[in-house]
Amino acid sequence: MSKKIYLYGNWKMNNTYSETEKFFVDFAPAYAPFKDADDLEVGIFAPFTSLWPLSQGAKKCGIVFGAQNVYYEPKGAFTGEISIPMLKEYDVTHIILGHSERRHIFLESDEVIAKKTKAVLDAGIIPVLCYGETLEERESGNTFTVMERQLRSAIDGLTDAEKAKIIYAYEPVWAIGTGKTATPDQAEEVCAWSRKLIGQPKAVILYGGSVKGSNAKELLSMADIDGALVGGASLKPASFLEIYTAYKA
C-alpha cells in the first residue's frame, strides 16, 4: 500500500453555519468515491459557530473534524474564549493549535500554545500543532532556530506517546495565502529535520502553504511529508479533493 495521505482543510474565518451545510451538500457526493480509500484521511477545521453543521456533515461522510483554536482552562472568567469541554460536546477529534495567524495576528506565545497542547492531549483530542518561520526569519538564516523554539516549547516535557499522538504541520508563514509554495526540497528539508527533533520516526508531519492540485504531487511525494494542511483550496470540495487525485495521478 502507498503511504497514507492526510488531507486537512483549515477553513480559517470562512463558511457560516448555512454555508457549511451547503458545503456538505456538494462535498458528500464528491467524497463518496474516496470514502473507502485506505490511504487517505480527510479532516476539516471550521470556525466555532460552524462546528455543529460540520460535525453532522463530517460524521455522515466519515471524515475527521475539529476546531481551529481552544483555551486551556476548563471554565471560568475568560470572556470570549471557548473551552475543551465545550468542544468535546461536539465530538471534535482534532484541534489546530499555534497556527501562524494565531501567533502573529493574535500574539499567542509559545507558552500559551504549550499549555493548550498539553490540555488538548489530556482531553484525548489530537492537537494539530502548527509551526513555521516568517520570510524575515528565513532570509536572516534563523529558520531552524525559530522552529526549534516553537517545537521544543510545545513538546518538551511530553511523553513519547504524547509526542507521537500530535499531528505536526510545518507552515512557512511566507507561503500561506500568498500563492508562493515552498519548493518540495525546502518543505522536505524542514519536515525531515522536524522528525528528528521530535524524536518520533512515525510522527505525522504535514506541509501547509498554498497547497493545491497543481503542486500536490511533488509536495506529497516527498518522504517526510505525510499530508497537507490546506487553506484556500479547502473551501470548495472540488479544489480540496483534487489535491489527493493529483497526488495519486
Q: What is the contact surface with ligand 13P in residues (CB under 6 A)?
A: 10, 99, 171, 176-177, 208-211, 229-233
Query: Is the separation of the CB atoms in 81 and 106 below 8 Å?
Result: no
Closest CB 66 distance from ligand 13P, rounded Å: 12
Question: Taking the complex as a whole, how short is the minimal distance between the CB of residue 57 and ligand 13P, in angstroms?
Answer: 20
CB nearer to ligand 13P: pick between 56 and 186 = 186
Contact at 8 Å (CB) between 169 and 128? yes
C-alpha 208/C-alpha 175 separation (Å) is 8
Of the two residues 155 and 173, which places its CB atom closer to ligand 13P in the complex? 173
* Catalytic residue of the set 99, 108, 137, 242: 99
Toward ligand 13P, which CB reaches closer, 56 or 184? 184
From CA 215, how far away is CA 20, in angstroms rounded?
26
Q: Is the distance from CB of 155 to CB of 138 less than 8 angstroms?
A: no
- Closest by CA to 102, choosing from 124, 81, 84, 78, is 81
> Which one of the listed residues 101, 108, 137, 171 is annotated catalytic?
171
Q: How far is the CB of 161 from ligand 13P (least distance, A)?
A: 26
CB of 130 to ligand 13P, least distance (A): 7
Q: Catalytic site residue 99?
A: yes
Return the number of the residue (23 or 157) whose C-beta is nearest ligand 13P: 23
Contact 133, 94 (CB under 8 A): no
Q: Residue 194 CB, nearest distance to ligand 13P (Å)? A: 16
Task: Mark whether 104 is an active-site residue.
Answer: no
Residues 6+ apart with CB under 8 A from 112: 72
Q: How far apart are CA 161 and CA 166, in angstroms?
A: 9
What gap in Å lies between CA 120 and CA 95, rounded to an integer? Answer: 8
Find all residues with CB under 8 Å of 24, minimum gap 6, and list them: 53, 56, 57, 60, 61
Nearer to ligand 13P, 74 or 177 (CB): 177
Q: Residue 30: which residues within 8 A CB-CB, separation 6 or more?
A: 237, 238, 241
**CB-closest chain residue to ligand 13P:** 231
Which residues are annotated as catalytic?
A: 99, 171
